[in-house]
Structure 1
Amino acid sequence: MSTPVFAVPEPPAKADARPDPAARRRLPAAQRERQIVEAAAQFFAEHGLGGQTRELARGLGITHSAIFRYFPTKEALLDRVYEHVYVQRWNPAWGGLVGDRSQPLEARILRFYREYAEKIFDYVWVRIFVFSGLKGYDIAPRYLGIIRERVIHPICAEVRADLGLPSPDVVPLTEREIEAAWAMHGKVFYLAIRKFVYGWPIPQDLSQTIADDVSVFLDGAPRIFIESVASARTA
């Protein structure tokens, strides 16, 4: 089977700081709100979450008060940015992908991470995520909670099933198992950090790199999971 090609997108060009004349036209409320959210996502990705909404308004060519007609606080605006950038990109079909035992475990995990990487390898997604953690906003913790429940724990459960080990309902997942899955997840995400935060080169086609990361995890998983379950049973 041929390896799918996953080409990494380039960061967008810097936005023109001059107000767009079209932005000053009277727009329907829903369209104006969407315009503000999309511009805010780009603005905070470039300037950090400490960026001032006054500057955002100036770039949009609207008054500062116009933003607050739609979003009473900066936190409310950031909540909408979170929904727009993170929640809307989550594919509900991923929920059953890792657990589909009609396919080999490696194929399931690999397919998930290739599809997931295509969504998150994005200038705005990565930079807002990092800035959120640095500034103490809850965007990163909220999203990591989703990853833990919908990705990390299901992967651990499927590794156990593949190895013939007790399910997490019988023997709760151990910290060691969970951290092994986080390490694989982190390796995929670090490629995005290298590109969109550090500006450091990464492979143009990430398909093989992701396949290698998944393979390394699964090669080491039997010893980690078997030892961890044995320790949990005797604890």
Structure 2
Amino acid sequence: MIEGSHQPHPDFRRTMVPKHPTKRRRLPPTERREEILQKAINLFSEHGFESSTREIARQLGITQPLLYRYFPSKEDLIREAYRSVYLERWDVEWDRLLCDRTKPLDWRLKAFYDSYTHAIFTRDWMRIYLFSGLKGADINRWYIGLLEERILQRIIKEYRHLAGLDGERQPEAEELELAWALHSGIFYLGVREHIFSLPPPKDRQKIIGNVVDVFHHGIQAYFSKLSAMKPAKLAAQS
């Protein structure tokens, strides 16, 4: 060091750098709305639906008036979360796949559940669905109605057709429970991973295939009995 020269103290150098608070980047309204929605989805998936709109705004780091600007009520926010997490992941090809009688029915089910589980086996999907069920929120009711109408009833109708029965008649409650048993068994694989934090199966596709195989043979036996009883019922009525 040259005699007489002085190096500024480190603290002094820091004071020479102007400090500016971090400003929130201005976003177009559509992007801001989507940002708020995605943060709300993360919040719902971690903490459920207990928070007030004031608390939701606080946890999202925004003001309550800003939240209301994009979502006038908590119900609106929940409805949009449902659209984003559930409806936007719904693939219309699933309906066509299940109805494609040019392919074996067990193959159709395996292909469907392979695609379906890839869409729903995520942390936000699973946790929001279960939080909704525990707190009686509308998301469960909305989704179960969609699932029964578009998937489970179709599965039963296809097996009735395979057994030579009326494939267009609405399934009875007892028949629909069989489809629920299949669906719930596969759904549990996602619950185990995203709710219980247990390791997922090493080969999910193989596990799904095994579950479908057991269901496929069992439900055919069930409908074969109904098909065999059909002539006897007709004779008794004549």
- TM-score (norm: length of structure 1): 0.83
Identify the residue that residue 60 of structure 2 maps to in structure 1: 60
Q: CA–CA distance in 1 between the matches of 2:201 and 2:52?
A: 35
Deviation at 1:167, TM superposition (A): 2.1
Work out the number of aligned pairs and report it: 211
Q: CA–CA distance in 2 between the matches of 1:51 and 1:227?
A: 52
Identify the residue that residue 148 of structure 1 maps to in structure 2: 148
Q: CA–CA distance in 2 between the matches of 1:125 and 1:139?
A: 11
Q: Show the 5 A alignment for 1:22-61.
A: 24-61=24-61
Deviation at 1:165, TM superposition (A): 2.1
Deviation at 1:228, TM superposition (A): 4.5
Identify the residue that residue 171 of structure 2 maps to in structure 1: 173
Deviation at 1:57, TM superposition (A): 2.6
Identify the residue that residue 106 of structure 1 maps to in structure 2: 106
Q: CA–CA distance in 1 between the matches of 2:117 and 2:49?
A: 23
Identify the residue that residue 197 of structure 2 maps to in structure 1: 199
Identify the residue that residue 4 of structure 1 maps to in structure 2: none
Q: CA–CA distance in 1 between the matches of 2:146 and 2:186?
A: 17
Q: Is the 8 A contact 2:33 2:70 kept in 1?
A: yes
Instruction: Please tell me the residue identity of whatever aligns with 2:78.
Output: L
Identify the residue that residue 73 of structure 2 maps to in structure 1: 73
> Over residues 50-94 of structure 1, what are the superposed CA-to-partner deviations in whole Å (9 max), with x where a residue is unaligned?
134434433433212211111111011000000000000001111
Instruction: Please tell me the residue identity of whatever aligns with 2:161.
Output: A
Larger radius of gyration: 2
Q: Is the 8 A contact 1:177 1:224 kept in 2?
A: no
Deviation at 1:223, TM superposition (A): 2.4
Q: Secondary structure at the match of 1:199?
A: coil
Correspondent of 1:189 among 181, 187, 190: 187
Identify the residue that residue 222 of structure 1 maps to in structure 2: 220
**Cα 1:228–1:127, aligned 2, differ >3 Å: closer, same or farther?**
farther
Q: CA–CA distance in 1 between the matches of 2:202 and 2:218?
A: 27
Q: Which has the higher contact order (CA 8 A, sep 6+)?
A: 1
RMSD of the alignment, in Å? 1.9
Q: CA–CA distance in 2 between the matches of 1:62 and 1:75?
A: 18
Deviation at 1:45, TM superposition (A): 0.2
Structure 1 stretch 120-129 or stretch 186-195: which is displaced more? 186-195
Structure 1 stretch 183-192 or stretch 220-229: which is displaced more? 220-229
Q: Is the 8 A contact 2:159 2:167 kept in 1?
A: no
Q: CA–CA distance in 2 between the matches of 1:36 and 1:225?
A: 50
Moved over 6 A (4+): none
Q: Show the 5 A alignment for 1:202-213.
A: 202-213=200-211
Q: CA–CA distance in 2 between the matches of 1:65 and 1:204?
A: 47
- TM-score (norm: length of structure 2): 0.82
